[in-house]
């Protein structure tokens, strides 16, 4: 599975809970709150002033390493 900047954060977490660490690293500590549930990776990156492509690449590399 591959994520894109349009992938919803809760969908990423459902793929593998280990992806949570990447969101924590950008300062997104409210992964269970309603606003983050429907937020895309791109939207989260804009709010937290993070390079979206870099985050997507990290998540995809992680998912590949764990065989997802």
Residue 1 has pLDDT above 90, yes or no: no
**pTM of this prediction?**
0.90
Q: What is the pLDDT of residue 9?
A: 92
Three-class DSSP labels, the chain:
CCCCCCCEHHHHHHHCHHHHHHHHHCCCCCCCCHHHHCCEHHHHHHHHCCCHHHHHHHHHHHHHHCCC
pLDDT, tens digit (0-9, with 9 covering 90-100), for 14-50: 999 999 999 999 888 777 777 777 899 999 899 889 9
How do the domains of the chain map onto residue ranges?
A: 9-65
């Amino acid at each position: 599975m591959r994520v894109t900047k349009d992938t919803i954060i809760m969908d990423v977490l459902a793929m593998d809970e280990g992806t949570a660490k990447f969101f924590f690293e950008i300062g997104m500590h409210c992964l269970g709150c309603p606003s983050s549930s429907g937020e895309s990776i791109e939207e989260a990156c804009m709010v937290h002033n993070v390079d979206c492509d870099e985050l997507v690449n990290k998540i995809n590399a992680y998912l590949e390493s764990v065989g997802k």
